[in-house]
Amino acid sequence: MPEKFEPYIFGFLCNWCGYAGADLAGTSRIQYPPNLRAIRLMCSGRVDPAFILTALKRGADGVLVVGCHPGDCHYINGNLRTERRVALLKKMLSNLGLDDRRVRLEWISASEGEKFAVVVREFVEEMRALGPNPLEGNMNET
Amino acid sequence: MKLRIALEGLGACAGCEIAILDLHEEILSLLEDLEVDYAPILMDKKILNENVDVLLLSGSVRNKHDAEEAVRLSEKAKITIAFGSCASFGGIPGLANLYATRELLERAYLTTESTDNKEGILPSEEVPPIEQVIKPLKEWVEIDYKIPGCPPQPKMIKEIFQMLLNRKPVTLSKKTVCDECDLKREEKKIKRILRWGEGEPDGSRCLLEQGYFCAGPATRAGCEAKCIAALTPCRGCMGPPENVTDQGARMVSAIASVAAVDEKDRVDPEELATMFKDVVGTLCRFSLPSSIISRKVLERKSK
């Protein structure tokens, strides 16, 4: 039997909500799987669709984008822009043959440490069931 | 000494070569300084044996013959140029990357409405084997410069020939089509993506802000925004601008930036995505083979 498949998840977390939520999960010692590699950005609006495509191309099994709840964005509407970007990008990905569940957008506030852990747990399980990313990239290179 | 050039179309439509002829009388003054040695689409010479200074390769590499010709000819040239959008980033033929090779052959030889092929024969003799995917020319041969456009604009071609004659590096505009466009940009709020032909466009306002899909923000300048001047939205034939790898991703960003997100006036993200009949074909129309994800992939079946 081959080794159990461990999905590689890339996370883009905004500084004000998503990352603070992850921080709260950490300081509250809430357990969640270690498959997520988090990158902090100032705003989820900074997530260029090309970042997500590049992560997938290089072999990430899933990409998680976390921003503030609508109305809470530190930069007024950066998260709403990202919501539309991700919706269009998902359509593009499914046209290109990828399962659009590989990209997930979540709103997590700084006080939702528990939600952060739940989302990561769910997402890792979902990607484990989905199987490895069919693109040839390898996360261990570069 | 005259600058000696050769032109060859691989999987091409000959439009790029015709664009050179579109220089009309000006071509005569150019010919004082350069000599066209080989151009099967324009002149009656079947094979290039001698060396040339500049080779302009147009079209995509669709089969083994195209690939071999590209390598053979580029070895004879000091400077090899990808001429036109197909050679530069894959172009329209690159959209074939959305289908498996088998699907393409079946469509072309068996199921088109005008096909009469009752025995269901797929050609296998005396035709070069097809390449599985379209890749930009730089994946096949070393390219010194690329000249985008479908076809490249005659004015741009003339400027580039002048750069070559002066032994200067070929440079392209670093701006986007929007920078060259004269239409007025004001508020950024669209609720619907209109298909071309829906409604009457306002001839003074930005087409994207009126809801028409216009690829200007994600497309390199150099065409003088001619299509938009005729109130036809940009389709992105000049490819991505400087420092942008993925034209489609840039366009996704641009559309999200003009979408209405006010509290009262908000376009639903899912609805926005369904307003495109063919997202990849619209957003990466000319540049799919050089995009980050350059072809259709297959998910393994999940258990």
Task: Kindly report the average pLDDT of chain B as a whole number.
Answer: 93
Check pLDDT > 90 for residue B273: yes
Token pair listed for B256: 């999200």
Check pLDDT > 70 for residue B303: no
- The tens digit of pLDDT for each residue in A89-130 reads 999 999 999 999 999 999 999 999 999 999 999 999 999 999
A139 part of contact set with chain B, CB < 8 Å: no
A77 part of contact set with chain B, CB < 8 Å: yes
Rounded to an integer, the average pLDDT of A71-85 is 94
Residues of B in Cβ contact (< 8 Å) with A57: 292-293
CB contact under 8 A, B256 and A81: yes
| Nearest CB neighbour to A92, from listed B245, B253, B280 | B280
- The tens digit of pLDDT for each residue in B137-153 reads 999 999 999 999 999 99
Domain ranges of chain B: 3-93+126-165, 177-290
Say what the pLDDT of residue A96 is.
Answer: 95
CB contact under 8 A, A88 and B257: no
User: Residue B215's CB: how many other CB atoms inside 10 A?
Assistant: 30
B300 part of contact set with chain A, CB < 8 Å: yes
Edge to edge, what strands does the sheet with A9-14 contain?
A: A36-41, A9-14, A62-67, A103-107
Cα A65 from Cα A103, distance rounded (Å): 8
Residues of A in Cβ contact (< 8 Å) with B292: 50, 53-54, 57
Rounded to an integer, the average pLDDT of B95-123 is 92
Rounded to an integer, the average pLDDT of B36-40 is 94
Rounded to an integer, the average pLDDT of B229-247 is 94
Edge to edge, what strands does the sheet with B77-83 contain?
A: B34-38, B3-9, B52-58, B77-83, B145-147
Q: Is the dihedral of CA B115, B118, B124, B127 positive or negative?
A: negative
Class of domain B3-93+126-165: alpha beta
Domains along the sequence of chain A with CATH: 9-130 (3.40.50.960)
Cα B202 from Cα B226, distance rounded (Å): 16
Check pLDDT > 70 for residue B172: yes
Check pLDDT > 60 for residue B87: yes
Cβ within 8 Å of A, B 213-272: 244-246, 248-250, 252-253, 255-257, 259, 261, 266-267, 269-270, 272
Complex ipTM = 0.91
Task: Kindly report the average pLDDT of chain A as a whole number.
Answer: 93
Residues of A in Cβ contact (< 8 Å) with B278: 95
Cα A124 from Cα B4, distance rounded (Å): 60
Say what the pLDDT of residue A137 is.
Answer: 67
Tell me the pLDDT band of B125, cut-offs 50, 70 and 90: confident
Say what the pLDDT of residue A142 is.
Answer: 40
CB contact under 8 A, A85 and B276: no
Say what the pLDDT of residue A4 is.
Answer: 81
Going by the DSSP 8-state scheme, the letter that residue B292 receives in this structure is S
Rounded to an integer, the average pLDDT of A15-22 is 97
Helices A49-57, B247-258: crossing angle, 10 deg rounding: 150
CB contact under 8 A, B293 and A95: no
